[in-house]
Amino acid sequence: MKGLCECEIIAQSEISPGVVRTLLTGPEIANEAKPGQFVNVQVARTTTDPLLRRPFSVHAVYPDQGVYSLLYVMVGRGTALLNKIQPGDYVSVVGPLGRGFDLGDSPDAEHIVIAGGCGAAPLHFLCDDLCNKWGCEKVKVLTGGRSKNAVLCEAEFRSHGVDVAVSTDDGTYGHHGVVTELLQRYLDNDAQRTTHNAQRPFRIYSCGPHAMMREVARICAEAGVHDVQLSLENNMACGIGVCTGCVQKIKGPMKNDKSGQNWHYERVCKDGPVFNAEDIIWE
Amino acid sequence: MGIASPDLSVKIGKIEMKNPVTVASGTFGFGQEMADFYDLSRLGAIVVKGTSLDPWFGNPYPRTVETPSGMLNAIGLQNDGLESFLSEKLPFLRQFDVPVIVNVVGQSVEEYAEVAAALDKAEGVAGLELNLSCPNVKKGCMIFGSTPEGIAEVIRAVRKRTGLTLITKLSPNVTDIVSIAQAAVEAGSDALSLINTLLGTAIDPWKRKFRLANITGGLSGPAVKPVALRMVWQVASAVDVPIIGMGGIMNAMDAVEFMLAGADAIAVGTGNFVNPMAAVEIVTGIEEYLKATNISDVKKIVGAVN
Ligand SMILES: Cc1cc2nc3c(=O)[nH]c(=O)nc-3n(C[C@H](O)[C@H](O)[C@H](O)COP(=O)(O)OP(=O)(O)OC[C@H]3O[C@@H](n4cnc5c(N)ncnc54)[C@H](O)[C@@H]3O)c2cc1C
Ligand SMILES: Cc1cc2nc3c(=O)[nH]c(=O)nc-3n(C[C@H](O)[C@H](O)[C@H](O)COP(=O)(O)O)c2cc1C
Ligand code: FES
């Protein structure tokens, strides 16, 4: 049955300070994963501390070779342990998990992908599929980071042949400012270009820090762009939907609720991690 | 010459389990997600997430945080309520050849009794586990389970409304678990399960903030195993009803320790998160242990610590 596999680490390389790309074997994951889905990795096999698996988005897949890659930032003990695993060794992986991005069914849409920091991880895979499905000329990437080093995967995005715009908070590279300013500017320009109200049907995809995605949601709502998909995170214990730990507050009443509340919780690991921006209740 | 195939079956009240391995409530959902990993019929029984009369929203997040060899959770018993259990979850579980035990939660004695009465009539429910021990909700649950009088009141009310096997789940957050266990048995509980989580908290020193939105949560996982094992042993020595032991069981040897301490069956909880296959691997591991030690029947190791 699906779900649990032993993946050999083929290589790990630090592509930027503290940012690691890992290539692993895993034919099922490479063949079945959809952009925006993630895997849950056991970072240490012989100890109960750390106990829980760590979730990482699928960064790229190579179905023909039966391999896939992850891109992670070393932030704590789990990621440090993962980084110590040598090529040739195996890790236990559960996945692919969760509900990924919906690439839409309209050939007229223009797809804008907005990455913040390590939020670029799932978006490289997404760009790949978007280009294959709709053609690279329909895809635009806006990617940002605190500083030049934190702008991840720019070369990979460009390798698809898509248009890429970059921003850094400190101005060391690209636009000096946050990446959502690039989005704002792009939508403003588009509004000027288009005569009367006939805006092009945009589809927006984003992954990154919470504050950034919240701003993406705000800008899009203001601009009347409705197809906005955000990949969220929360602390995960199981990653497979059984513990109800990783929830996000979502609009609309809970099923069978009689108390009249107009919200409910959904699981990021199972009902997400990709949610529609208009459904999210931010706090 | 070892034993070819030892008898793994055990009985909890009227519930016939083909092996002594079940799962801890709240760590297995209602089985749907786990059925992707293995055939649920391989388990001795399934204990589903706490179920209340009306849906419960649960607590704000973050709801979970990892701690050394364990984790804290403050889910707050989010569940879709009895109606959805009966119309959606139970029909799914009926497909499998495995007894289903429903973990029942309530905010009042009447609510426990009402849920129990409805489940009594439902086809495919083998037993009830009364959650009188959840530390993460303000009303009900642990409030009832912390005193012998409180626990007895709920059990007596439920007992009147159902003939199903009643299992009472005990909290470790009490001074004397044995007196509570005895009160539960006297009030009509057919079996006991223990332990629920240990109340704890965690703080982020840099942000100077509690790591859980609920501030406190329940500790589970390998960190609690020694406490759980001690409590199972104490309770098993004091009462005559079957016991389902749990708390930090990650592998077959952990499970065997609980059975040696006096548990008739065991439940895998947090272990499911670390290894989704843990419960079925434990079934196999217990069988191997019996073969290796030349024991023909798993019931012979219950309470057999020297
Ligand atoms: C669906 C999903 C996909 C993810 N994809 C990626 C990815 O592709 N690349 C990547 O670098 N990271 C990703 N993350 C975040 C990654 O899981 C955490 O960075 C990782 O678990 C930290 O582990 P650690 O032991 O190194 O850090 P810890 O020592 O556990 O914690 C260090 C810091 O990380 C935070 N943290 C811990 N767990 C999580 C978590 N699950 N989500 C967010 N923050 C957390 C803690 O609050 C703490 O501030 C993803 C998270 C989710 C939920
Ligand atoms: C995320 C989570 C949710 C839980 N939910 C419930 C519940 O709904 N009802 C209940 O009786 N116990 C609940 N528990 C407690 C477990 O069933 C079990 O008693 C406890 O976790 C100890 O076992 P373990 O260390 O193997 O996890 C929950 C535990 C966890 C970790
Ligand atoms: S992490 Fe357990 S339900 Fe999402």
| pLDDT tens digits for range A89-120 | 999 999 999 999 999 998 889 999 999 988 99
| Class of the CATH-defined domain A110-227 | alpha beta
Report the percentage of chain B scoring pLDDT > 90: 93
**Ligand 1 pocket: which residues have CB below 6 Å?**
A 38, 50, 54-57, 71-73, 75-79, 118, 121, 233, 235-236, 273
- Relative to the CA of A70, which ligand 1 atom is closest? 8
Distance from CA of B252 to the nearest CA of A (A): 15
Assess whether the C-beta atom of A239 lies below 6 angstroms from ligand 3: yes
ipTM of model over 0.90? yes
B133 pLDDT band (50/70/90 cuts)?
confident
Give the pLDDT mean for A191-208.
78
A191 pLDDT band (50/70/90 cuts)?
confident
The reply to whether residue B55 touches residue A3, judged by beta carbons under 8 angstroms, is no
Query: Which chain B residues touch A264 with a CB distance below 8 Å?
Result: 57
B173 pLDDT band (50/70/90 cuts)?
very high
The answer to whether the beta carbons of residues A146 and A118 sit under 8 Å apart is: no
CA separation, residue A101 to residues A36, A94, A125, A185, B84 (Å): 5, 19, 10, 24, 29
- CATH number of the structural domain B10-58+76-199+220-301: 3.20.20.70
- What is the whole-number distance in angstroms between the Cα of residue B25 and the centre of ligand 2? 5
Is residue B79's pLDDT more than 60? yes
3-class secondary-structure state, position B224:
helix
* CA atoms A159, A16, A208, A38: torsion sign: positive
Instruction: Identify the helix (H) or strand (E) that includes residue A71.
Output: strand A67-73
Domain ranges of chain A: 4-97, 110-227, 232-283
Query: Which chain B residues touch A244 with a CB distance below 8 Å?
Result: 26, 29, 49, 58, 63, 75, 78
Rounded CA gap, B143 and A193, in Å? 64
Domain ranges of chain B: 10-58+76-199+220-301
Those residues with Cβ within 8 angstroms of residue B103's Cβ, 6 or more apart along the chain or in another chain: B25, B26, B47, B48, B49, B50, B51, B129, B131, B169
A5 pLDDT band (50/70/90 cuts)?
very high
3-class secondary-structure state, position B296:
coil
Give the pLDDT mean for A181-195.
84
- Closest residue by CA, ligand 1 atom 47: A235
Those residues with Cβ within 8 angstroms of residue A197's Cβ, 6 or more apart along the chain or in another chain: none
Rounded CA gap, A47 and A39, in Å? 20
Average pLDDT, chain B: 95
In order, the DSSP letters of A170-215 are TSSSSEES-HHHHHHHHHHHHHHHS-TT----EEEEEES-HHHHHH
Give the pLDDT mean for A43-57.
95
Is residue B213's pLDDT more than 90? yes
As beta bridge partners, residue A166 has A143
Superfamily per CATH, domain A232-283:
Dihydroorotate dehydrogenase, electron transfer subunit (2.10.240.10)
Is residue A1's pLDDT more than 60? no
Confidence at residue B179, expressed as pLDDT on a 0 to 100 scale = 96
In order, the DSSP letters of A148-159 are GGG--SHHHHHH
pLDDT in tens, A226-236: 999 999 999 99
Confidence at residue A199, expressed as pLDDT on a 0 to 100 scale = 61
Ranges A2-6, A140-144, A261-265, B34-38: which has the least confidence: A2-6
The reply to whether residue A261 touches residue B55, judged by beta carbons under 8 angstroms, is no
The reply to whether residue A256 touches residue B250, judged by beta carbons under 8 angstroms, is no
- CATH number of the structural domain A4-97: 2.40.30.10
Is residue B1's pLDDT more than 60? no
Residues in chain A: 283
Rounded CA gap, B22 and B42, in Å? 10
Q: Where are the alpha helices (DSSP H) in B73-224?
A: 81-84, 90-93, 109-121, 142-145, 148-159, 177-186
